[in-house]
Amino acid sequence: MTRQAQHGFVTSLESAWDGTCLDANLEHTLHEGRPLWVRYDLPGVGRAASREALAARPLTMWRYRELLPFPLGREPVSLQEAVTPLLRTDRLAAELGFRNLWIKDESRLPTGSFKDRGMAVAVNMALGFGRRRFIAPTNGNAGGALAAYASAAGAEAFVFMPRDTPTPNVIECMQYGAHTYFVDGLISDCGRITRDLTEELDCFDMSTLKEPYRIEGKKTMGLELAEQCDWSLPDVIVYPTGGGTGLIGMWKAFGELRELGWLRADTLPRMVAVQSDGCAPIVRAFEAGQRLAEPWENARCAAPGIRVPSAVGDFMILDAVRDSGGCAVAVPDDRIATWQRLGTGLTGLSICPEAAACIGALITLRDRDLVAPDEKIVVFNTASAHKYDHTYPCDVPVIDPSRPVRPQLRL
């Protein structure tokens, strides 16, 4: 714990495990090994902001600033984190046997993934605490986002990633000027290296849920979704789950909106956590009725963002899924590339492998009667397909220039 800052309507930090309250004006990481929630003076937020007042604000995630941990009078370091579109996808819906399927397309954010939301808030908070050096383990996208915000802030980033991280992610981190390292291992090994170096390099540790602020940035996915749906939430949210910050953040957002009285109905969406059968610790714990998830051995996954063998916020993910009446679903890893092609081909969106896993999960949800054909479903496309180079085989036909070309027609 060091240094002082004032953070808008934030009242305290609270242990997600045992409710211990800590001073939000001091810098904290985990409390006794468990993550912290940021708590707000919600009646105060309700007096300072309203659904109507929001309508006049610029279309960036900072429109929800009363519900973010950031000094109200200051301007954040920002890359213009635009509100991402929510698109109805009728062709994909018809293919999968649904009638009301939507995709929230996070690929439009500055570095092409939803990780920008969390890093935007966390980097600003760390700067507020006087920090200029950040460190994180990454499966790719978080590293890219951290590197970008560090670059925008004139700060320094250290990122540690598995050796098989997609090349576009690696290049991105290097181009933004981050100290970029491969680790012969998985993200959990990168996490251990990060932990060992944090103090030595005098860094602010940006590891998933080891600081309380990234989750607050991710919360804006839920706030935006609520506003885009005119304050009536969908029936089901299908989300690719690794460390869990996106799912936990959205669930927190819905709780805060309900407490503020901004939602039209009290029912909240059923949250579906999607993993691959090559790395499904949350699904296994969900099915076994456990609150904590055992680490997954020999994790493999075609969608790097959800190859997380052990999540420090496992119980927060499982609590959110269970409280919402949702479920956790594992899909066959070897089908992810096929679903990516299907999703991209039927939507025109740049579908990432993690969202492709969610498309596969929709088939399971349909077959197990866990979601009805008419229910309103929102899938999160958490990143752009351009950030990956391993799931898409370039099996294009080769033309001999000396022969006539006869393309195959589809329509």
Ligand X SMILES: Cc1ncc(COP(=O)(O)O)c(C=O)c1O
At its nearest, how many Å lie between ligand X and the CB of residue 99? 26
Residue nearest to ligand X (CB): 305
State yes or no: residue 188 binds ligand X (CB under 6 A): no
Binding map of ligand X across residues 53-72, x = CB under 6 A, - = no contact: --------------------
Nearer to ligand X, 48 or 86 (CB): 86
Binding ligand X (rule: CB under 6 A), the pick from 89, 111, 245, 350 is 245
State yes or no: residue 347 binds ligand X (CB under 6 A): no
Site for ligand X in 204-223 (CB under 6 A): 208
Binding ligand X (rule: CB under 6 A), the pick from 241, 276, 340, 347 is 241
Binding ligand X (rule: CB under 6 A), the pick from 206, 352, 377, 385 is 352
Q: How far apart are CA 39 and CA 45, in angstroms?
A: 12
Q: How far apart are CA 134 and CA 157, in angstroms?
A: 5
Site for ligand X in 136-175 (CB under 6 A): 139, 141-142
At its nearest, how many Å lie between ligand X and the CB of residue 353? 8
| Residues forming a β-bridge with 183 | 162
Site for ligand X in 372-411 (CB under 6 A): 382-383
Q: How far apart are CA 164 and CA 321, in angstroms?
A: 30
At its nearest, how many Å lie between ligand X and the CB of residue 214? 9
Q: What Cα–Cα distance (Å) separates residue 344 from each residue in 235, 242, 276, 331, 350?
A: 24, 22, 19, 18, 6
Binding ligand X (rule: CB under 6 A), the pick from 354, 358, 360, 378 is 354
Nearer to ligand X, 76 or 240 (CB): 240
At its nearest, how many Å lie between ligand X and the CB of residue 96? 20
Binding ligand X (rule: CB under 6 A), the pick from 191, 242, 269, 281 is 242
User: Is the torsion defined by CA of 59, 45, 314, 270 positive or negative?
Assistant: negative
Cβ(92)–Cβ(343) under 8 Å? yes
CA angle 25, 257, 315 (to 5 degrees): 70
CA angle 2, 3, 6 (to 5 degrees): 130
At its nearest, how many Å lie between ligand X and the CB of residue 220? 13
Q: Write down how long the chain is.
A: 411
Angle between helices 214-228 and 115-128 (to 10 degrees): 130
Q: How far apart are CA 150 and CA 132, in angstroms?
A: 8
Q: Write out the residues near ligand X by the rule CB under 6 A.
A: 113, 139, 141-142, 208, 240-246, 305-306, 352, 354, 382-383
